[in-house]
Amino acid sequence: MAYVTRDEMIDIFRDTESFCKTDENLRAAINESIKATKFYAPDDYPPIPERRFKGTAISLTKRRTLDAAISMQRRYLELRIAVHNFASATNPGGGVRHGSRAQEEAICRCTTLYPVLNTDANWKKFYSVNRERGDSLHDDACLYTPEIIVCKSDTDKPARLPRDRWDSVDVVTIAAPNLRNQTISDEELFALQEKRIRHMFTVVAHHGAEIFVTGAFGCGAFQNNPEVVAKVYKKILPEFEGCFKEIVFAIYCRPNETQNFNAFKRILK
């Protein structure tokens, strides 16, 4: 496919916003998701339900996050699927309004997520707090949002889908440490990510998701070392054995950008 320009990305998101505002079914879904969104403070660890599965499959794919989630929905028709939003801690949707291409922006271009995140309640508890902290490492707080509608194709140039092709996924929104302008040791990164990822898994398990699509958290724009982050996941995954039927690492990459995928494949396999 031809390269999609930043201006085209901006137009695609504007069209998503228009779709969400003018389609009555999407408007209703957004209102329900806003009401159901729950904020978890860094030290708020909800109880994990009884483990329902004998084991948990671990898989890796080079698909995009939503593409991987929809593939899982086709495979497991009745199971609840959650996806991991690699969030900006200070702006709902990150740079989606400016045509940015990171994972959160890709999700927001294809779904009802952006208006659900961009509420006064979420600004007060999540985004403004992180802005006031002025710390690019951020904290372990997260938002859990049920039934976000996937209303566009998860492709290079997302297009509107007819209603009979819409899907819904739960979304957990949490920010990785942003290391673009701050240097920490691998040991410090491991400790930060261990606490953060464990908190995320606890919240997702608490909400009853049976399939969880995560990935190379923080290893793109936020420049976390993929070797370190993959080792964190490897340590934490056994703690949640049986909570999920499958955990999918969706690590989208073009043929010349396989560093993150290769690191996770080597360490998790």
Residue 254 pLDDT class (50, 70, 90 cuts): confident
**What tokens does 190 get?**
């491991």
DSSP E strand boundaries for the chain:
38-40, 57-61, 81-86, 142-150, 167-174, 211-214, 246-250
- Is the pLDDT confidence value at 1 over 60? no
Distance CA 217, CA 240 (A): 18
This prediction's pTM: 0.97
CATH number assigned to the domain covering 6-268: 3.40.220.10
Please name which of 245, 254, 264, 237 lies closest in space to residue 73, comparing C-alpha atoms.
245
The domain segmentation of the chain, as residue ranges, is 6-268
Residue 2 pLDDT class (50, 70, 90 cuts): low
For residue 3, the model assigns a pLDDT of 86
**What tokens does 173 get?**
């929104």
Number of H helices, E strands in the chain: 10, 7
